[in-house]
Every structure is written in structure tokens, then in C-alpha cells.
Amino acid sequence: MRLFSYWRSTTSYRVRIALHLKGLAFETVPVNLVAGEQRDAAYLSTNPIGGVPALDLGDGQILTQSMAILDYLDAAYPDPALLPADPLQAARIKAAAMVVACDIHPVNNLKVVGQLKALGHSQEDAVAWMNDWMTRGFTAYQALLPEGTAFSFGDTPTLADLCLVPQLYNAHRWGCDLTPFSRLTDIEARCLALPAFDAARPETQPDAG
Amino acid sequence: MRLFSYWRSTTSYRVRIALHLKGLAFETVPVNLVAGEQRDAAYLSTNPIGGVPALDLGDGQILTQSMAILDYLDAAYPDPALLPADPLQAARIKAAAMVVACDIHPVNNLKVVGQLKALGHSQEDAVAWMNDWMTRGFTAYQALLPEGTAFSFGDTPTLADLCLVPQLYNAHRWGCDLTPFSRLTDIEARCLALPAFDAARPETQPDAG
């Protein structure tokens, strides 16, 4: 498999964790978002939305959208599972994952920040914007968790943790005040102590700058 | 079941279509987003992100996040299916759905528009912002479709169509130029001719104003 990825992209980071958790070998194909490579015509034929990640399954089949890729990997390589078999419990975990995937990340990514700057806003405005959405989202995420679990939903990481940890990476990067979210940073520390999460960290990717 | 819903919310509209397609009876509990009812403390205990939809399964269990609710309904009430059993084909359909759910809707919804206005932008700025994201997203969505199908991915509606039709409702509402997207508006017309999509239309909901 080949993963079209950018080291700091939180959606790429989600998929890297899943690939490592499931023990799947992959080659990283860097797409430099800051240099605009995601808008090259050749890349748009790989992923028409012009973003990362995209996963080449090795037989010419390319999958896009991190949440769709994660579901595919979980169905095709079920061990270890990212979601439980019970649909109701799976829906609770997905809801927390979707708080990150739909309510935090899309309003915070590079293209939205670029659009804010095109509208005349400063870097400080952009950072305040990002941290506001992260604070709202982390508040909701924390409220959705059961009491007293080591990871977001139990004793092992799930799809929710795969979304949470990359978003917390971004939160640290942009100086979001995480004081009210010690439950989440505790979970983050437990995740990052696992080899699969550690191997997926942005700083150790081949395109880290 | 009770669906916490707002008539013009495109994420509520997705779930209404699924409930009707699967023949599930439900009661609508209106949450007036324009009046700010989604931020009431009582509602935040139902859905901590302060949005719609939320689905009360009738036994005290409440599910949030439209994409998680749709997956739950498809697992618990599999006929008719919103996704095929083949994980690869399901991933392609989910990728198109996620273009709407992650790349269009989150940057276009009422709270983001409110935030733009709080930053001093006009209604025209907000409408231009929304139409720009819709144009980018519809371009990608159209590029992800197979050739010549009646609905987005075959002869019957899937999860992708359940996301597309509500987003096109919003596109019409805000005057987005859909000339380049005749494939999508053709699919929309076929969907809206089906009783389940017709019953879910915003204009016919109990809280339509």
C-alpha cells in the first residue's frame, strides 16, 4: 500500500495510526500541502477534493477520505478492531470520532485558514478561530465519554482515539488551552505510549520538516 | 423514536430520509437553531456539541452525529441497505458522502456563518464563502461517481445520495451556480421523486416556517 500523506495533516495521522495498529506495511508518498502539491492536476486525479490522505491499495485502487479509509481498513483487516460489533456501542464511538472529523477538523484545516487570510484576517485571528472550534469540540468530546476508562471508550484504543490524538497534536501546535481537558490529555498520553501511535507521530514521518 | 431536528438542517434531513427509507416511525422534536435552542442547557445534555440531529431510540438511549446515526440505522435496520456489503465499494460511497459531511457542510453551517459575521463580515461575504465551498465539494463529488448511474452509485440510493440531496437543497437556497453539476441535479430529481426523500423535505416538516 502507498499512503499519500502530509506529516502535519491530522487526517493522514489518523490513517497512519490505523495502518500501524493493524500491522500493515505501507510506503509514504509525501504531498506537501504548504507548497500546494495537493492542487496539482496529477494529484487531483488521485483525490479530486485536493487533500490528503489517499490510500493506494497497490492494485490501482485508490481510496480517499480518512473516515472512509478507516472503515475500509477495519472491515478488510479486522484485527485489532477499531469498533465493537454492537451497533449501538459502535455508534457512540463514531459520534465522538465525528465530533473531531466534522465539528473540529474541517473548520480548522489549512485551506480554511487560507480562506480567512484571503478575507484579510491576521494569523492571530486564524489561531483564535482554530482554538475556539477546538475548545467547543473537545468540550463535547469529553462529555460523550463513559466514566473512568483508560482510552476514550474502554481498555483499548478505538476509532475515537485515532481521531482524538491527531487533533490534540494540532491543539498543542496552536497553543489551545487544554487545562479543562485533562481527561483527554491523559488518554493521549496512554495512546502515545503504544508503538502504533508512536510510529505515526508527525515528527518521525519521512517528509517532516 | 424521536428525532431532534430542525427543518432546514441538512444533517437532520439526511437522517429523516433514512428513517423514511427504512419505514421507521418517528416523532419530530423541533430544535429551533435560529432561536438558539441548541445551546439551552437541557438540550446540551442531549447533544453536547449543541447541534441537530439527535435520535432518541425510545428507551432513553440517545445517539448524536448524523453520520454515526446513519451507520447505526443501517446496521440495526438493514433493509433497504444504504451501503453494499463489499468493503471496497462501501468505501467509495462513503468517500463521496464524506465530501459532503466533512468538506462542505461543516464550513457552511449556521454556526460558522455566525462566526464570520462576528468577525465583521457581511451576508454577501458569508454567501460567497458558502458557495465557494459548495462548488469545490460538488466538483469533487461529481468526479468520484461512476459513469452512467441513475443514482450516485447505482440503481438505488445510497448513503452518498442521502448526503447529496440535503446539500443541494442548501445550494439552491443560497443561489450556488449548479450549471456545472447537471449530473448531480439529475440525481437529485430522481431522489426527490421517491416517497422517502419527498417525505423528508424541509418544507413539509412540522417546524417549517
ipTM of the complex: 0.97
Chain A environment of B106 (Cβ under 8 Å)? 102-103, 106-107
* pTM of the predicted model as reported, rounded to 2 decimal places: 0.98
Quick check: is A169 in a domain? Answer: yes
Q: pLDDT grade, residue A209 (50/70/90)?
A: confident
**Residue corresponding to grid cell 439552491:** B172
Chain B environment of A91 (Cβ under 8 Å)? 63, 68-69, 71-72
Q: Residue type at B102?
A: C
A55 plus A92 within the same structural domain: no
Q: Check whether B94 has a pLDDT greater than 90.
A: yes
For residue A109, which of A196, A6, A1, A9 has the smallest C-alpha distance? Answer: A9
Which DSSP letter does residue A105 get?
G
**Mean pLDDT, residues A88-95:** 98
Residue A133 CA to chain centroid, in angstroms?
A: 15
A54 plus A149 within the same structural domain: no
| CATH number of the domain where residue B47 is located | 3.40.30.10
Question: What pLDDT, in 10s, does the model give residues B76-86?
Answer: 999 999 999 99
A97 plus A184 within the same structural domain: yes
Q: Residue type at A83?
A: L
pLDDT of residue A47: 96
Tell me how close the Cα of B203 comes to any Cα of chain A, in angstroms.
Answer: 26
A103 plus A53 within the same structural domain: no
Q: Is the Cα dihedral A83, A169, A180, A99 positive or negative?
A: negative
B114 plus B191 within the same structural domain: yes
Question: What pLDDT, in 10s, does the model give residues A13-24?
Answer: 999 999 999 999
The strand order across the sheet containing B2-5 reads B27-30, B2-5, B54-56, B62-64
Residues in contact with A164: Cβ distance below 8 Å, sequence separation at least 6, in sequence order: A96, A100, A141, A152, A184, A187, A188, A191
A53 plus A120 within the same structural domain: no
B126: its cell numbers: 458569508
Q: pLDDT grade, residue A101 (50/70/90)?
A: very high
Q: Check whether B209 has a pLDDT greater than 90.
A: no
Structural domain harbouring B172:
87-196
B91 plus B192 within the same structural domain: yes
Chain B environment of A106 (Cβ under 8 Å)? 102-103, 106-107
Quick check: is B205 in a domain? Answer: no
A70 plus A147 within the same structural domain: no
Quick check: is A168 in a domain? Answer: yes
Cα pseudo-dihedral A128, A133, B134, A44, rounded to 10 = 80
Quick check: is A91 in a domain? Answer: yes
B65 plus B94 within the same structural domain: no
Whole-angstrom Cα distance, residue A100 to residue A139? 11
The residue from A80, A111, A146 where one domain ends is A80
Quick check: is A184 in a domain? Answer: yes
Whole-angstrom Cα distance, residue B33 to residue B110? 8
Whole-angstrom Cα distance, residue A89 to residue A83? 8
Cα pseudo-dihedral B199, B205, B206, B207, rounded to 10 = 170
- Using CA coordinates, name the residue in chain B closest to A49: B140
A73 plus A100 within the same structural domain: no
Quick check: is A204 in a domain? Answer: no
The residue from A33, A64, A80 where one domain ends is A80
Q: Residue type at B85?
A: A
Q: Check whether B70 has a pLDDT greater than 90.
A: yes
The tally of domains found in chain A comes to 2
pLDDT of residue B185: 98
Helix or strand holding residue A188 (H, E): helix A182-192
| Facing residue for A119 by CB, picked from B61, B92, B125 | B125
| CATH number of the domain where residue A172 is located | 1.20.1050.10
B103 plus B172 within the same structural domain: yes
A91 plus A171 within the same structural domain: yes
Whole-angstrom Cα distance, residue A199 to residue A151? 18
Tell me how close the Cα of B179 comes to any Cα of chain A, in angstroms.
Answer: 19
Quick check: is B201 in a domain? Answer: no
The residue from B35, B52, B80 where one domain ends is B80
